Amino acid sequence: MERMLSAIKPTGRLTLGNYIGAIRQFVKFQDEYEMYIFIANEHAITVPIEAKELRQNTKDLIALYLASGIDPEKTTLFLQSDVDAHAKLGWVMTCMSYMGELQRMTQYKSKTANGETGITAGLFTYPCLMAADILLYDPKYVPVGIDQKQHVELTRDLAERFNNRYSDTFVLPEPLMTTVGQKIYSLQDPTKKMSKSEENPKGTIDLLDPPAAARKKIMSAVTDSVGIIQYDPENQPGIANLLTIESALTGESIESIVARFEGKGYGELKKAIGQTVFDFLTDLQARYKDIMASGQINEVLQNGAEKANYIANKKIRKVYKKVGFTITK
């Protein structure tokens, strides 16, 4: 079985974008691949976050992974900080990277372009830690939304550089993106990514939003003055985003949804999608509550950490030998 690995960082509440662009893929692929999914909590402190909030976000994220259908019998589910090898290989990868290539990462560039102050060195070097996260497990594929594609490509470059410098050590991973929903956009500004850190909460649907509030956000989503329901992301990004959400959550193709709403108004389309989102969140949150109450999270993480450490430690031992840290043969 080929391997697949991915992660989400617990910086805020998970969004519908995280579900559609990432978690949905994890669930779909866990039957076909040997799957490793983790909570990237070491990445979460690249921006200031209180310990209490990080703890809560972490628990929520695990429960939402499980509620979404990630099965710990099939998937190794773990916490990044439970596996020391991530930080160890992260340092090696930091020393394999050039300042210039990290400065070209679009996420970093957009933060500095906004004139944000207080950017930490950790935020600058986080793609190196992400490369380590991936390379420890030799996955063939890394399912991500389009905003993370560049980081997976950097990971390939770093793996290749290491392999050339020291000898074959790492598998070169490939980013894997869904056809529908690589990037879900803000409901208030459909040219911007729907994001955990968006200032306007009306633009983002949190997976833990009350379902009725989420429906309201869909009803007040920004559209356009064209007035025709068709899939035209260039000229009608708001409608295209809504059609993508409906398609991703129901499995119905975009063409079929467009045909179903031929001649109808935006209000009707929004009502239908609002209902889809309402039903989806209602089911998901019922499972989330059961999982939070069940106390199974600790056991899942303990088992996951054991399996992940086994693989990751083997790899870090190899790396330590190759770079010359280990002085015995």
Say whether 197 counts as a known binding-site residue.
Answer: yes
Three-state SS string over the chain comes to CCEEEEEECCCCCCEHHHHHHHHHHHHHHCCCCEEEEEECHHHHCCCCCCHHHHHHHHHHHHHHHHHHCCCCCCEEEEEHHHCCHHHHHHHHHHCCCCHHHHHCCHHHHHHHHCCCCCCCHHHHHHHHHHHHHHHCCCCCEEECCHHHHHHHHHHHHHHHHHHHHHCCCCCCCEEECCCCCCCCECCCCCCCECCCCCCCHHHCCECCCCHHHHHHHHHCCCCCCCCCCCCCCCCCHHHHHHHHHHHHHHCCCHHHHHHHCCCCCHHHHHHHHHHHHHHHHHHHHHHHHHHHHHCCHHHHHHHHHHHHHHHHHHHHHHHHHHHCCCCCC
Answer yes or no whether residue 319 interacts with ligand TYM by CB under 6 A: no
Q: Which is nearer to ligand TYM, 69 or 321 (CB)?
A: 69
Concerning whether 111 is annotated as a catalytic residue, the answer is yes
Min separation Cβ 272 and ligand TYM, Å: 21
Using the structure block, give the residue that is written with the tokens 């056991």: 299
Concerning whether 314 is annotated as a catalytic residue, the answer is no
Answer yes or no whether residue 17 interacts with ligand TYM by CB under 6 A: yes
Site size with ligand TYM, rule: CB under 6 A: 24
Which of these ranges, 16-24, 207-215, 297-305, 320-328, lies near ligand TYM under the rule CB under 6 A? 16-24
According to CB under 6 A, which residues from 155 to 214 bind ligand TYM? Answer: 181, 183-184, 193-194
Q: Which is nearer to ligand TYM, 12 or 211 (CB)?
A: 12
Min separation Cβ 46 and ligand TYM, Å: 9
Answer yes or no whether residue 148 interacts with ligand TYM by CB under 6 A: yes
Q: Which is nearer to ligand TYM, 146 or 228 (CB)?
A: 146
How many whole angstroms separate alpha carbon 97 and alpha carbon 91? 10
Say whether 195 counts as a known binding-site residue.
Answer: yes
Min separation Cβ 9 and ligand TYM, Å: 4
Which of these ranges, 14-22, 113-121, 156-164, 226-234, lies near ligand TYM under the rule CB under 6 A? 14-22
Q: Would you mind telling me the total number of residues written for the chain in this entry?
A: 329
CA angle 127, 133, 137 (to 5 degrees): 140
Min separation Cβ 220 and ligand TYM, Å: 18
Say whether 196 counts as a known binding-site residue.
Answer: yes
Q: Which is nearer to ligand TYM, 194 or 319 (CB)?
A: 194
Residue of 236, 25, 245, 241 whose CA lies nearest to 145: 25
Min separation Cβ 147 and ligand TYM, Å: 5
Answer yes or no whether residue 6 interacts with ligand TYM by CB under 6 A: yes
Concerning whether 315 is annotated as a catalytic residue, the answer is no
Say whether 138 counts as a known binding-site residue.
Answer: no
Q: Which is nearer to ligand TYM, 26 or 266 (CB)?
A: 26
Say whether 82 counts as a known binding-site residue.
Answer: no
Q: Which residues of the shown chain bind ligand TYM in the complex (CB under 6 A)?
A: 6-9, 17-18, 20-22, 40, 43, 130, 133-134, 142, 144-145, 147-148, 181, 183-184, 193-194
Mark the binding-site residues for L-tryptophan, compressed into ranges: 133
Active site residues: 111, 193, 196
